[in-house]
Amino acid sequence: MTIQIKHIAVITRRFSLESNYPGGINQLIFDSPCDAISQDNFLIAVHFHSELSARKFIRKLTRQHLIYSPDGHYSDILLLNYSDTRRQHCDWLVVNNQLDNTLFCHSALEQAKQISGLEL
């Protein structure tokens, strides 16, 4: 499944949240500072209109032992801004080119399973 990013989003892997965030995904949704959340079987994206708000949310996640690295390597969290051409890179997320100010992203694991013919 593809997640659309129209502004700024904090993206995490579901299993990282389920393993580290007290109360899991349901608690994250309750704690989220905004109502715009997208998710699929592998990813959760919390959408923001300001990078400052997104960074505050990242700090909250890191206090719950999720890892954030500004370069994207070895991270459980990724900050995506559709207008930033210097996107972070990580091996667990595939980001497709933007179309009409929208990024389309999906799990690299999901893509690998689809290529190999495994069911999700």
The predicted-structure confidence for 44-67, as pLDDT tens digits, reads as follows: 999 998 989 999 999 999 998 899
The answer to whether the predicted template modeling score (pTM) of the entire model surpasses 0.85 is no
Q: What does the DSSP 8-state code read for residue 7?
A: S
Determine the pLDDT at residue 112.
46
β-pair type (43-48, 8-13): antiparallel
